[in-house]
Amino acid sequence: MGLYLVTGGAGFIGSHIVEELVQRGESVRVLDNLSSGRRENLASVQDKVDLRECDIRDLEAIRPVLEGVDYVIHLAALSSVARSIEDPVSTTLVNLNGTLHVLLAARDVQAKRVVMAATAAAYGDNPSLPRVETQMPQPLSPYALTKLAGEYYGQIFHRIFGLEVVALRYFNIFGPRQNPQSPYTGVLSKFIVAYLRGQTPTIFGDGEQSRDFTFVTNVVDATLRACLAPAAPGKVINVGTGRGSTLNQTIAFLNQILGVQVTPQYAPPRVGDVRHSTADISLARTTLSYEPRVSLEDGLRRTVAWLRTALS
């Protein structure tokens, strides 16, 4: 037991983590500037969490928010490759400076542990698959670079200051509450929205690029395990399913789930996009006793059901 702080806790992933913590009877504080996070995401637990509207770019503003906190789950970020290419300065101020601020504040209140969201984008187009944590990072976008630099800051704070820090490299998360209206939302949400609106989904490239699509429930499980696992501090750990699926395969799944036969339209590939990405989750298995419980197909069904309601 302890007090958990979730930065970005009103967002897509964060709200699922907050809900699970509340379900487990934990004390939860949320730090969110509500730029992309939404109060509605916390509707089911709003009377059971302490929501502080605050911005991680302001170190002095967040210091009091961390007072008394035992575990920090740091998710607050500008999490888009495309947006980072359009506006690398904002991405750097939030993802790198903001992460440094969270680490400083956590160190100063002597938090027990910081679990930070890192990204599979750090691997870039390294041809070796599956992605293993020991591979040389090759970031291809400002987003990937800032998240990787945040990882390094976490490792430095662990080594120099003794702050327990775990970095989880998330692989292509999808699920309910991923904002379908955002131009920067995940590709699977965009596909499903197109289907539900009777539009043709667009694939950038030939559709044979692959991703380790990971349903949000799996990510919640791994993240909370990382808060307590004895061997986790100081490590960078992949969180995915260990299975790669092409975009064309996901379209085939959605055709089956929705009982239609849609052919997507294809557009030129986007700058900064990685061709293939699949996680080796051996370290997560041994260090966190993590095992993905929700498959891509089941996750797609749950996401379709949620989006049907959200768009109605």
Burial of 65 (0-12, 13-18, 19+ CB in 10 A): buried
- Whole-angstrom Cα distance, residue 144 to residue 91? 10
Amino acid 209: pLDDT: 93
- Whole-angstrom Cα distance, residue 178 to residue 215? 11
- Express each pLDDT in 214-259 by its tens digit: 999 999 999 999 999 999 999 999 999 999 999 999 999 999 999 9
- Span of 109-118, 130-139, 242-251, 267-276 with lowest mean pLDDT: 267-276
- Sorted by sequence, the CB contacts under 8 Å of residue 85 that are 6+ apart come out as 141, 142, 143, 271, 272
Amino acid 125: pLDDT: 83
Is it the case that residue 34 has pLDDT exceeding 80?
yes
Q: 3-171+216-240+278-293, which class in CATH?
A: alpha beta
Task: Give the mean pLDDT of 173-185.
Answer: 82
Is it the case that residue 184 has pLDDT exceeding 70?
no
Query: Among residues of the chain, what percentage have pLDDT more than 70?
Result: 99
Write down the residue that tokens 């504080």 correspond to: 29
Asked if residue 56 lies in contact with residue 94, where contact means CB atoms within 8 angstroms, the answer is yes
Is it the case that residue 183 has pLDDT exceeding 70?
no
Task: Give the mean pLDDT of 202-212.
Answer: 94
- Express each pLDDT in 262-295 by its tens digit: 999 999 998 777 788 899 999 999 999 999 999 9
- Whole-angstrom Cα distance, residue 94 to residue 84? 11
Give 157-165 contacts, CB < 8 A, sequence gap 24+.
157/103, 157/107, 157/114, 158/233, 158/234, 159/234, 161/107, 163/103, 163/106, 163/107, 163/111, 163/114, 164/112, 164/113, 164/114, 164/233, 164/234, 165/103, 165/113, 165/114, 165/115, 165/116, 165/233, 165/234
Task: Give the mean pLDDT of 98-104.
Answer: 98
Asked if residue 103 lies in contact with residue 145, where contact means CB atoms within 8 angstroms, the answer is no
Is it the case that residue 182 has pLDDT exceeding 90?
no
Amino acid 80: pLDDT: 87
Residue type, 23: Q
Task: Give the mean pLDDT of 3-24.
Answer: 98
Each domain of the chain, given as residue ranges in start order, spans: 3-171+216-240+278-293
- Give me the chain's average pLDDT, please: 95
Amino acid 275: pLDDT: 86
| Token output for 42 | 């916390």
Give the DSSP letter of residue 130.
S
